[in-house]
Amino acid sequence: MRRLLLALVLIPAPALASTYDDFSRGIDANNRGDAGTAIEAFTRSIDGGDLAPSYLPSAHFGRARALLHDRRCDVARADLTDAITLRPDFVDAYSLRAEAEACLGRDDAALADATAAVRLKPAAGYYFTRARMLWNVGQFDAALADAGLAASRDPGNAYFALWQAMIALQAGEHGAVAQTAEDGWPKPLLDLYAGRASIDDVRRAEGTSAGYRCEADFYIGEWNLAHGKSDKGRILIDAAARECPADYIAAQSARRELERGP
pLDDT, tens digit (0-9, with 9 covering 90-100), for 13-24: 444 458 899 999
Are 162 and 262 contained in the same domain? Answer: yes
Are 44 and 117 contained in the same domain? Answer: yes
Cα 97 from Cα 55, distance rounded (Å): 18
Our count of domains for the chain comes to 2
pLDDT, tens digit (0-9, with 9 covering 90-100), for 191-216: 999 889 999 999 999 998 999 999 99
- The alpha carbon torsion through 103, 32, 125, 104 (nearest 10 deg) reads 10
Could you tell me the CATH number of the domain that includes residue 112? 1.25.40.10
Are 112 and 179 contained in the same domain? Answer: no
pLDDT, tens digit (0-9, with 9 covering 90-100), for 128-178: 999 999 999 999 999 999 999 999 999 989 999 999 999 999 888 765 565
- Position 146 in a domain: no
Of 4, 67, 29, 26, the C-alpha closest to 244 is: 4
Are 173 and 257 contained in the same domain? Answer: yes
- Position 113 in a domain: yes
The mean pLDDT value of the chain amounts to 91
- Position 76 in a domain: yes
Domain end, chosen from 97, 121, 145, is at 121
- Position 75 in a domain: yes
What pLDDT score does 3 carry? 59
What pLDDT score does 177 carry? 61
Range of the domain at 245: 158-262
- Position 131 in a domain: no
Are 180 and 115 contained in the same domain? Answer: no
- Position 182 in a domain: yes
Are 112 and 191 contained in the same domain? Answer: no
Average pLDDT, stretch 225-239?
96
pLDDT, tens digit (0-9, with 9 covering 90-100), for 43-56: 999 999 889 999 99
Are 165 and 253 contained in the same domain? Answer: yes
Are 56 and 114 contained in the same domain? Answer: yes
Q: Which amino acid is at 159?
A: Y
* 3-state SS record for the chain: CCECCCCCCCCCCCCCHHHHHHHHHHHHHHHHCCHHHHHHHHHHHHHCCCCCCCCHHHHHHHHHHHHHHCCCHHHHHHHHHHHHHHCCCCHHHHHHHHHHHHHCCCHHHHHHHHHHHHHHCCCHHHHHHHHHHHHHCCCHHHHHHHHHHHHHHCCCCHHHHHHHHHHHHHCCCCCCCCCCCCCCCCHHHHHHHCCCCCHHHHHHHHCCCHHHHHHHHHHHHHHHHHCCCHHHHHHHHHHHHHHCCCCEHHHHHHHHHHHHCC
- Position 7 in a domain: no
- Position 222 in a domain: yes
Are 178 and 103 contained in the same domain? Answer: no
CB 38 within 8 A of CB 62: yes
CB 22 within 8 A of CB 41: yes
Are 117 and 182 contained in the same domain? Answer: no
Between the two ends of the chain, the Cα-to-Cα distance in Å is 27
Domain end, chosen from 121, 140, 170, is at 121
Domain end, chosen from 63, 98, 121, is at 121
In this predicted structure, the answer to whether residue 1 has a pLDDT above a threshold of 70 is: no
